A = this chain, B = another copy of it.
Amino acid sequence: MVSQKSNKISNGSVQVIPLGGVGEIGKNMFVVRYGDEMIVIDSGLKFPDEEMLGVDIVIPDMTYLFENRDKIKGVFLTHGHEDHIGALPYLLKEIDVPVYGTKLTIGLAERKLKDHPVRKSVSLKQITPGKQMKLGAFKLEFFSTNHSIADSIGIAIHTPEGIIVHSGDFKFDHTPVTGEITDYHKLAELGKKGVLCLMSDSTNAEQPGYTNSDRVVGETIDEIFREAPKRIILATFASNIYRIQQVINAAKKYGKKIGVVGRSMVNVIEAASELGYLRDVENVVIDDIEKVNQLPLEKTVLLTTGSQGEPMSALTRIATDDHKKVQIMPQDTVVIAATPIPGNEKLVSRSIDNLFKRGAHVIYKSVAGIHVSGHGSQEELKLMLNLVKPKHLIPIHGEYRMQVNHKNLAENLGLPSKNIFLAENGEVMEFKNGRGRVNGKVPAGKVLVDGLGVGDVGNIVLRDRRLLSQDGILIVVISVDKQNKELVAGPDIVSRGFVYVRESEELLDEAREHVVKALNKMSKSKMNEWQAIKSSVKDVLGQYLWEKTRRRPMILPIIMEV
């Protein structure tokens, strides 16, 4: 993974280095470097893959930043989603550097840092879309984008070698909920000036056409409110303030009060109201679901978390009748206003099934218009390319096949293949005199966070967890006399996760006998060699158990000297 620890930079060149966010969706982190000055764009986390057993979150390997801490002038956040701000506490724990973002983004980052206090004072600075600032050799301009969270921006970084544009997460929505559209004019202006390199969102590079406007969802929500006979329970991403606003609008129109269920939904609504990102919140009861429960059902709406079927979330608990304050009632309409993130399909389906079983009418993904993506589709990616007219393109924010699709789109618009970088994390793209090339690699990769441990769960621990999860463990304990190396107690066999012990006594007794036989066979001199004893126990037991059960539990011999 590491090919060059201390990246050298050629004189008078600018470098773009993804530390996370290419070849993947998640843990976004990009470095732009000129001479001895760097800025960092985003500091995101990623949720673990299934095979990362027991891992809580994944963050980028920040070795390169830690080794160049004195060069870093600032961290810029494009918006407040976890995959863009979630690794901030881990970055700020090591490096004291100012963090820049728009009002809502900074508001969300502040709340995150309260949960993960890193030091007494953290310098969070607010920036405004449409404005610009100077920072060392860089001049930065921030432009508004449409995305599934308010206050999203892209960034144009003016360097002595040319302009680098980071698109942020974007779509082109002509009728967004707030009315503020992606800043076409700034993009056009940049394109006219000439852009050296565009880093652009590839999430929906596989999707033909245009992504629907948020207005479509507003209309669907309105229709659902009009037709629902009784209470409405609507689940969506807590961070999707637009969706929440649309629910507030419909509730106002149809005279319903909104109760909020689920901690992260409460947090976001509090933050967004405080910062002025939600209108007409007087109908929203944040703190007291009982108050809403007392109203006639047809006068109420519940906004909840759990649109991804997360096991501990509000909607999942409601669906399994395991929520303290909310039970499904006859004629409830439940709306899941989100599509499942890949990997969550089964969990979401299970919630839907459970809600149906309790008698709710469930409106979910197969119903059109209840969710739209926050990322632009192919025609929008082309529009971005044609507005910005970059000399080079780095498709970012996408798994490899999405990057490839994005590359194909750009080639079809006439961008030469050699000017498009299908970058890997850690790869250094260097631009000088208007020409780009890959120039080496810096350390990059994933750091697994499990509880308080950052990076202490690696391949060996994960391999053991995987083994344990498949067929469990069998522990064989024997006591050996210190002096004359004789067996004085055991072998005792204890198993967990292997077989149901009460029904497998015979199997375990026989297993024990096999170990006894194996130990008896060993010469006295060998009883001194613990490794030999352990190997022998493992071999004999492993073979016996495979024959009898076709399972391979982890076998762990423990020898005690007494």
Contacts and interface: CB of A to CB of B under 8 A. Distances in A.
Contacts of A549: 450-453
A414 interface: no
Contacts of A556: 475, 494, 496
Contacts of A560: 477, 479, 489-490, 492, 560
Interface stretch (A70-78, A286-294, A399-407): A399-407
A498 interface: yes
B342 A453 contact: no
Majority secondary structure of chain A interface residues (helix, strand, loop or mixed): mixed
Nearest to A550: B451
A323 B460 CA distance: 25
Interface centre among A465, A467, A494, A556 (most CB of B within 10 A): A465
Interface stretch (A102-110, A142-150, A229-237, A351-359): A351-359
Contacts of A466: 469
A17 B366 CA distance: 30
A450 B551 contact: yes
Contacts of A54: 469-472, 497, 551
- The copy count of this chain in the complex is 2
A282 interface: no
B489 A562 contact: yes
Contacts of A472: 54, 461, 464-465, 468
Interface string A72-100: 00000000000000000000000000000
A80 to B, nearest CB: 25
Interface stretch (A296-304, A428-436, A499-507): A499-507
A556 B349 CA distance: 36
A30 B562 CA distance: 61
Interface residues of A, number: 68
Contacts of A453: 499, 549-551
Given A464-B472, A470-B53, A500-B456, A353 B401 contact: yes
Contacts of A498: 461
Given A460-B500, A556-B494, A561-B489, A404 B356 contact: yes
A197 interface: no
Given A401-B353, A492-B560, A497 B479 contact: no
9 contacts: A50-B50, A207-B366, A349-B399, A453-B499, A457-B499, A464-B472, A468-B468, A469-B469, A477-B560
Given A353-B401, A465-B468, A489-B562, 15 more contacts: A207-B366, A342-B346, A345-B345, A349-B401, A352-B401, A356-B401, A450-B471, A453-B499, A456-B503, A461-B499, A462-B497, A467-B497, A468-B472, A468-B497, A496-B554
4 shortest A-B CB distances, which residue pairs?
Answer: A451-B550, A469-B469, A464-B497, A468-B468
